[in-house]
Amino acid sequence: MKKLYLWLVIAILLLLTACQSSTEEKPILEETTDFDLTAAAEMIKPKEQLILDIAAKEKVSKSEYDKLGQSLEKQFGSRGSDLLSMIFIEDLDVGPEVDRSVNPDTFYPTILHEGVEVTKATEYKSEFETDLFDEHILTIREEYIGDDERLKSWNREYIFKTNEQGKWEFSGFSGVLNLSGDEYNWNYLKLKRGA
């Protein structure tokens, strides 16, 4: 008898789940527009400059490492810690107070490098009957457009969403964040003049 009740409860849950997914709310308005490429580049430039400034240090103390982590979190939110671990060598065999070294075998392409440009920026808005589901997303795509064969297909997108105050806030990445290996280093591409 207990098994019958169990199967009955499972069947009811499955039925309720199926009913709920069939009435999923759809947007009443969707709009995608181009965003100004110059403004888009200005949005990501300070983020990329911060990464290059950190990588130029070669080695940092524990307290400076913690401060750099806070700076990255201010610019990149929860992804700041991912970037910190990408930039520095994580040696689990050393104590927490030991200086941290920048990983020399990594390259983070930026719009400050020759051949890297913001090629597309789009703003997407969707509105639903329930405001809770509304979205306002900005996607900024940067690509390598130079002659280096290794970088020919490289691209990365920065994704921003509006916060409660209606301001753009970094949300995440898509594409290839960085390149690593013996053939790469932080100076793999020259910086643009004035960068």
Quick one: DSSP state of residue 161? E
Res. 68: pLDDT tops 60 = yes
Radius of gyration for the alpha carbons in the chain, expressed in angstroms and rounded: 23
Q: Which helix (H) or strand (E) holds 11?
A: helix 2-22
Total domain count for the chain? 1
Does a structural domain hold residue 13? Answer: no
Does a structural domain hold residue 11? Answer: no
CA dist list (Å): 32 to 86, 89, 97, 123: 33, 41, 49, 6
pLDDT at position 105 is 93
Does a structural domain hold residue 6? Answer: no
Does a structural domain hold residue 88? Answer: yes
Reported as a single tens digit per residue, the pLDDT across 3-49 is 555 565 566 655 555 544 444 567 777 789 999 999 999 999 999 99
- Which residues span the domain enclosing 110? 31-180
Reported as a single tens digit per residue, the pLDDT across 74-94 is 999 989 988 998 999 876 656
Calpha distance 142→117 (Å, rounded): 5
CA dist list (Å): 126 to 22, 37, 123, 156, 164: 20, 22, 10, 23, 16
Does a structural domain hold residue 99? Answer: yes
pLDDT at position 166 is 87
Does a structural domain hold residue 5? Answer: no
pLDDT at position 15 is 55
Predicted structure pTM score: 0.81
pLDDT at position 19 is 47
